[in-house]
């Protein structure tokens, strides 16, 4: 990192040279932002891909870089009314700060039930924006800048360019796919970023009259590249069986610690990866009872020494299309935990040492973006656009083929898939079925294997 006056130039292995302006440099120098140096971008994936030790710090700086480039491209386009540019100056800083609220090991804890954590990482950002140091770094942007940036991160606010930070075309996806693939050493994350950036446009929604970030039709092939890159990364990295096993073990450790009052949900806010593991070890060792014993002598050493839960059974999602499964199969509910402990007893294992894993990501491939087709603006939504490849349908198919139902056990066991499905059917409350079932904002697996829900990232 080299300082040049009040700006900073960073040499980055993905984007080569990144220049932070004076405000961005001040943000980066704050303690809340420096904390991101010690939170791994891919959580526990480094236990499978040793190179995946890159951090939220690296990623956030990369998203800032893309945001600066994207706003420059958009401003060089056709002249637009002033309201289209309201709040545009805050977009690069919202991009820089979009992950400021992350928990240790990134997204893993957000899979837990709401009562186990204080909120998702975007909600937690509000707490970090209260930092006097961070507010001082943002002072030159105006007294309301922290609140306005927080709204942009949440996908709210009136600025037309907020879609660059939160939306189908957000720069977060372009950055993390390229960076994650590079550090995992896999060839799957190639996205035609240059084509996507050059194809961006600020378009007026014909239905509402509001301005928002869209894309020119000629760049839809680059959008396809993002779709396929995301599919390959989920299938081969993010949902790799050992990554899911490590994530499941970590979640079980934290969940059990919160249940046993060794930690509280508020204790999870702020610690970095190693700080949280250290605190867990210290509290478990000084505690008493079965929970403290299990954590200190069995589960925490297993995570540290990569003694991960083993696959007892796995079933691809496409093989489940004619099956009915409990609504809770993709969550971390008390009902699911009761089922897991019942199976653990049948398999001769201790409570908590069976994990059922069927990951789902909110709107993993959802597309909702305006498209400029030769001067006519249309929306690419769930119904697609006539005359173009049916990207929404393709996205749902990719999600379906990426998902796998797995049963993990803390000691090696082998379970017949039919036995697993029978156990799930036996413990299902009357009337529950995957077909057409809705829980909160999530519509679960239907007969066609489609899953979609509200916005969000991997």
The answer to whether residues 53 and 183 touch, using CB atoms and an 8 Å cutoff, is: yes
Which domains does the chain carry? 2-239+363-399 (1.10.3210.10), 309-360+403-458 (no CATH)
Is 198 a residue whose pLDDT tops 90? yes
Query: What is the DSSP track for 112-157?
Result: S-GGGSS--HHHHHHHHHT-HHHHHHHGGG-TTHHHHHHHHHTT-S
With 0.75 as the threshold, say if the pTM is over it: yes
- Output the pLDDT for position 384: 65
Measured between alpha carbons, how far is residue 44 from residues 47, 48, 245, 299 in Å? 6, 8, 9, 15
The answer to whether residues 456 and 363 touch, using CB atoms and an 8 Å cutoff, is: yes
Residue, of 84 and 301, whose pLDDT is higher: 301
Q: How far apart are CA 272 and CA 275, in angstroms?
A: 5
Is 254 a residue whose pLDDT tops 60? yes
Convert the pLDDT of each residue in 349-371 to its tens digit: 999 999 999 988 755 556 788 99
- Output the pLDDT for position 454: 29
For CA atoms 156, 160, 165, 167, the dihedral sign is positive
The answer to whether residues 165 and 152 touch, using CB atoms and an 8 Å cutoff, is: yes
The answer to whether residues 151 and 163 touch, using CB atoms and an 8 Å cutoff, is: no
Q: Cite the DSSP H helix spans in 191-318.
A: 193-198, 220-233, 241-259, 273-286, 290-294, 300-304
Convert the pLDDT of each residue in 68-121 to its tens digit: 999 999 999 888 899 889 999 999 999 999 999 888 998 888 887 777 776 676
Convert the pLDDT of each residue in 132-156 to its tens digit: 999 999 999 999 999 999 999 988 8
For CA atoms 109, 110, 113, 117, the dihedral sign is positive
Is 310 a residue whose pLDDT tops 90? yes
Q: How far apart are CA 315 and CA 417, in angstroms?
A: 7
Q: How far is CA 201 from the centre of its chain?
A: 26
The answer to whether residues 129 and 146 touch, using CB atoms and an 8 Å cutoff, is: yes
Q: What is the mean pLDDT of the segment spanning 244-254?
A: 96
Residue, of 445 and 173, whose pLDDT is higher: 173
Is 404 a residue whose pLDDT tops 60? yes
């Amino acid at each position: 990192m080299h300082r040049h006056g009040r700006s900073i130039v960073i040499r980055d292995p993905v984007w080569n040279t990144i220049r932070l302006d004076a405000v961005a440099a001040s943000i980066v120098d704050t303690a809340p932002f420096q904390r991101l140096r010690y939170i791994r971008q891919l959580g526990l994936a480094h236990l499978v891909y040793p190179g995946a030790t890159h951090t939220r710090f690296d990623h956030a700086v990369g998203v800032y870089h893309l945001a600066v480039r994207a706003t420059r491209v958009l401003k060089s386009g056709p002249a637009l009314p002033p309201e289209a540019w309201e709040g545009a100056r805050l977009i690069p800083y919202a991009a820089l700060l979009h992950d400021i609220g992350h928990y240790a090991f990134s997204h893993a804890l957000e899979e837990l039930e709401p009562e186990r954590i204080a909120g998702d990482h975007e909600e937690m950002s509000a707490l970090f924006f209260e930092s006097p140091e961070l507010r001082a770094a943002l002072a030159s942007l105006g007294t309301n800048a922290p609140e306005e940036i927080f709204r942009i991160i949440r996908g709210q606010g009136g600025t037309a360019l907020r879609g660059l930070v939160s939306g189908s075309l957000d720069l977060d996806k372009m950055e993390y796919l390229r960076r994650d693939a590079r550090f995992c050493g896999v060839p799957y994350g190639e996205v035609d970023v240059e084509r996507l950036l050059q194809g961006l446009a600020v378009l007026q929604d014909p239905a509402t009259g509001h301005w928002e970030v869209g894309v020119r039709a000629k760049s839809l092939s680059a959008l396809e590249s993002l779709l396929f890159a995301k599919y390959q990364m989920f299938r081969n990295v993010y949902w790799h069986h050992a990554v899911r096993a490590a994530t499941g073990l970590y979640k079980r450790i934290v969940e059990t610690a919160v249940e046993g009052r060794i930690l509280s949900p508020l204790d999870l806010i702020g610690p970095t990866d190693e700080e949280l593991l250290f605190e867990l070890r210290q509290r478990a060792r000084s505690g008493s009872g079965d929970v403290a014993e299990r954590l200190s002598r069995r589960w925490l050493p297993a995570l540290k020494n990569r003694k991960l839960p083993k696959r007892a059974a796995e079933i691809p999602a496409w093989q489940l299309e004619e099956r009915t499964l409990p609504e809770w199969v993709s969550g971390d509910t008390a009902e699911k935990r009761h089922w897991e402990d019942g199976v653990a007893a049948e398999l001769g294992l201790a409570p908590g040492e069976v994990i059922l894993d069927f990951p789902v990501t909110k709107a993993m491939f959802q597309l909702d973006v305006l498209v400029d087709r030769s001067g006519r603006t249309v929306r690419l939504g769930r119904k697609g656009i006539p005359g173009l490849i049916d990207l929404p349908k393709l996205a749902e198919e990719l999600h379906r083929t990426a998902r796998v139902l797995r049963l993990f056990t803390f000691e090696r066991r082998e379970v017949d898939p039919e036995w697993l499905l029978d156990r799930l059917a036996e413990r299902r409350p009357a009337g529950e079925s995957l077909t057409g079932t809705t829980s909160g904002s999530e519509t679960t697996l239907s007969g066609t294997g489609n899953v979609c829900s509200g916005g969000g990232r991997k």
